[in-house]
């Protein structure tokens, strides 16, 4: 029954994803702060990056689904392209921590994968869609905490290359 429910939710996400718009947040707005637990057990919060580096926060719908797996694999296999910049990157979903831990382990994720099971941070970022999972949206947050870019047109297979290209376009310094 749980597997069937997950399949139905994924089908709804895929069918309706073209109709989901991300955010009332705009470029130039202050990004909402957050404190979320990662698959490594540590808590991450936006304020830890202020004044230090750009933060790339990539929301994804659901662990262990096709698109999310492709996106995660891209970040694992080509994450070195992102690490050339003074930027931290992480993925976030409303999945339970245990689901994300299993997903991160399977994909050999070498970056934080955040869990927002209360959905409060997803609501603050205005990415929680009508099926109550996060839409696939990537936020680029500057060192000063302002939103530099909101990307709703994600190609999961080339996510790492696209993030690196955006960091270059935004003029983020290389390390």
Q: What is the pTM of this model?
A: 0.85
CB 162 within 8 A of CB 89: no
Closest to 169 (Cα-Cα) out of 69, 62, 87, 64: 87
Alpha-carbon Rg for the chain in angstroms: 15
Confidence category of residue 63, pLDDT binned at 50, 70, 90: confident
Angle separating helix axes 66-83 and 97-107, nearest 10 degrees: 70
At the fourth CATH level, which superfamily is domain 2-169?
Glutaredoxin (3.40.30.10)
* Per-residue model confidence as pLDDT tens digits over 123-142: 999 999 888 899 999 999 99
* Per-residue model confidence as pLDDT tens digits over 74-97: 999 999 999 999 999 999 999 999
Q: How many helices (H) and strands (E) does the chain have?
A: 5, 7
């Amino acid at each position: 029954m749980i597997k069937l429910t997950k399949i139905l939710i994924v089908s709804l996400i895929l069918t309706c994803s073209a109709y989901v718009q991300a955010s009332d947040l705009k470029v130039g707005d202050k990004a909402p702060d957050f404190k979320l637990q990662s698959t490594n057990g540590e808590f991450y919060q936006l304020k830890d990056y202020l004044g230090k580096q750009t933060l790339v926060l990539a929301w994804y719908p659901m662990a262990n689904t096709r698109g999310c797996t492709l996106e995660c694999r891209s970040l694992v296999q080509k994450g070195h392209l992102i690490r050339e910049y003074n930027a931290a990157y992480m993925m976030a979903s409303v999945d339970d921590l245990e689901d994300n831990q299993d997903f991160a382990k399977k994909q050999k994720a070498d970056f934080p994968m955040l869990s927002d099971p209360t959905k409060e941070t997803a609501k603050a970022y205005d990415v929680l869609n009508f099926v109550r999972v996060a839409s696939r949206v990537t936020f680029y947050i500057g060192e000063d905490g302002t939103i530099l870019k909101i990307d709703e047109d994600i190609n999961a297979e080339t996510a790492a290359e696209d993030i690196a290209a955006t960091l270059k376009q935004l003029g983020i310094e290389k390390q």
